[in-house]
Structure formats: structure tokens, C-alpha cells
Structure 1
């Protein structure tokens, strides 16, 4: 990562972390998810910020959207076209369309990057991967960091084992980021390679 890229990343991370979701975005989201209380909406906002931090730190990464709730809030953000375009310019320097990858290999990279964002261990689900289950989002996704199977996945109905998703079988690939607030430097041993 060049000095200019690092400076842009730091600036973008500050914008993401300080971002206040517009009232119209919150209103449309809560209309769709009327069963969420204020604390639940705040948790989805935090998970959405986490997703954008991943995009800012690794702008060329192919990320998947692991959360239905975060995907819904992101979609509501894009409906405020001018505000969303300004947010993208301030954080990424380009417009990010609301069309995340759904490939399982990209889910694995997203998982590793989210773990690094929280500086959590390999057996811990970061917020972005647990928010749907925690809030009991209708048709939300349910993940396990590890199903307990060694060499073969113990498939559980309605759950995705992230250890056995392509690219995550080797837990030694993960290392915590000791400087959580600094941009993550491309590391070919994490998330499937440098970009």
C-alpha cells in the first residue's frame, strides 16, 4: 500500500466510523424491519460500518454480503443517490454499486477481513456475520465459525460453516491485527492473497 493509498484509507475509515445514517434511510429501513427496536437498528448500523471498513481497507477485494439486514440498510443508503455518492467519494474515492458478490470464496475473504477488523480469534464470528442471527432477522443468514468437523463439514440445516467454505479450512491463515485502527496492509497469507 502506497503512502497516498494509506492516507486515503485512514481518511475513509474516519468517515465510515463517524457516519450518521440519514433519517430517511433509517426510516425506510425500520419500515421494512419494523420488529427491530432502536438498539437493533444501531447494531445493524454498526455492522454496516464494519462492511464499509472492509471495503475501504481493501478496495480491490471481492467481498460478499454475509448479512441480509446489512444488505437491506446498504440498499436504503443507495436510494439517497446524492448522499450515497458523496459518502462513496469520501470513503472510497469511487462509487460502489449495491451489488456485492455472493460467491463462497468471496464469503471466506470477507469473513477473514471482518475477523481482522474486530481483532477476534478464528473461532469468533464478527458482527457482520452474527447480526442476522443475533437480531433474528427474517430470512437472515446463520453462520458458524467452525462446525467441529475435521476434514469434513458437519452440515447443519440452515447454517453455513465458515471453516469449510472454500478458502477457510486452514485456521493458521488468520492472524489478529494488533493495530485495529490502522489500515490493514495487504497480506498474501490472509483472505486469499494481496490485491
Structure 2
């Protein structure tokens, strides 16, 4: 067999592998979107957050799906949770041990451990996870992640639902910061995710879904580097 034939075979094999992975990821994304949460899950959330209506809880459920999709589309690399109320729902879902384990296997090919809700800080790993989630949720909602005119649901939901201990984001805080009004609670800013001011880098920002292993066929069970933990 000549070299040209070997090159063609190798190229076709690579193309088929890429197409198979894209197909597999698409199947998993559809599964996440259509997944039925355990029947009493929202009631559990309402015990934690009695101010939430059923409609509010369903919106939180959409936020959690968005987080799971970001993890999948990011190649199952490390992610951080940006919302307090969505984090509450994630906690409650994890307590349904069998449901959650089965969900992770079908959605990711491996177990996704819990990571606490955080904001940008000096913690480089958490910052990388937040930037990754920001980039991918903006991409999903057709938002420019560098100059956002609005927020993805996952970053907007705490403010939208008036969560007392929630993380309040704005697309751009420059006007508030320039006003230097000490009586105003300074929110967290979408524009900060492209900045290196917090930790000297922008790891995670600009990640594309081509990298990583979201197919569950690796030695790590398909979780790649994304399985964080408490």
C-alpha cells in the first residue's frame, strides 16, 4: 500500500472519529435537555427556598441544564458553578443518588462531582471553571462573551429571582465603578471574565468544544479533568 493510500485512510479514520464524537455529544446534549428531574425535586428546593414558586423552580431547572450542557460542550473539563440557587438544586439532585449516577453516565460518560458556587477570585482553578462556563453559556445564547449586552440565564438567575445570598451580575459594571458610589452594592461583571486582573491569566475563556473527551471512552471514564469536588 503506497503512502498516498495510507494518508487517505488515516484522514478518513480521523474524520469518522470526529463525526462519531460530535454525534455522540449531540445525543448526550439531547438527553440533558429532555431529562426528567425526580418528581419531588422542586419541592425539595422550595423547602430550602420557600419564596420560590413552581415556575421559579422550573427556571432554576433550566439553569441547571444549562450548566450541565456547558460541562458537556466544554469537553467535560473543570467547571465552576456561578449561581447560588442553581447550586441548591444541584445539591438536591445529587441526593437522589441512583438518579444522579445514572444521569451522569448517560449525559457525560462519567460522574460529575459537585463544585461549590463561586465568583472570580485568586483561585485559578475556580476562575478557569467560571470562565469556561461563561464562554459556553454565552455561546449557547448568542451573546458576545467579551462585550456582553445581556447575561446568560445561569449568570442572571440569582438576581432575577431575588436570591438573598445570590451572586448578582451585570453585563458591564464600568458605569457603576466610575460613579464610585459606596452606597451601591457592586455586582459581579460579565466583562471581567475576559480580564486577567484576578489571577494573571484567562484560562478557560475562549475554550471551544472540540477539545477534551466528552465521549466516555477514555481511561478516566469520560470525565476528563472536569470532575471537581468539594
Please state which band the TM-score falls in when normalised by the shorter chain: 0.7 to 0.9
Match of 2:217 in 1: none
Matched, 1:73 2:89: yes
- Structure 2: give runs of 5+ residues left out of the alignment: 1-16, 119-125, 198-203, 213-230
Q: Distance in 2 between matches of 1:167 and 1:97?
A: 27
**Aligned residue runs from structure 1 range 36-47, under 5 A:** 36-47=52-63
- Greater C-alpha radius of gyration: 2
- Which stretches of structure 1, 4 residues or longer, exceed 3 Å deviation after superposition? 153-156, 165-169, 191-195
Contact 2:74 2:132 in 1 (8 A): no
Match of 2:191 in 1: 163
TM-score, normalised to structure 2, is 0.67
Residue deviations 1:44-93 (CA, integer Å, cap 9, x gap) = 01111111111111133322111001111011111011100110011100
CA 1:89–1:32: 2 relative to 1, 3 Å: same
Matched, 1:111 2:127: no
The match for 1:135 among 132, 138, 161 is: 161
Q: Does 1 or 2 have the higher relative contact order (CA < 8 Å, sep 6+)?
A: 2
Contact 2:173 2:187 in 1 (8 A): no
Matched, 1:20 2:36: yes
Q: Distance in 1 between matches of 2:136 and 2:116?
A: 15
CA 1:101–1:159: 2 relative to 1, 3 Å: closer
- Structure 1: give runs of 5+ residues left out of the alignment: 170-187
Residue deviations 1:26-59 (CA, integer Å, cap 9, x gap) = 2211111111111101110111111111111113
**What RMSD in Å do the two structures reach over aligned CA positions?**
2.7
For 2:106, what is the secondary structure of its paired residue?
A: helix
For 2:40, what is the secondary structure of its paired residue?
A: helix
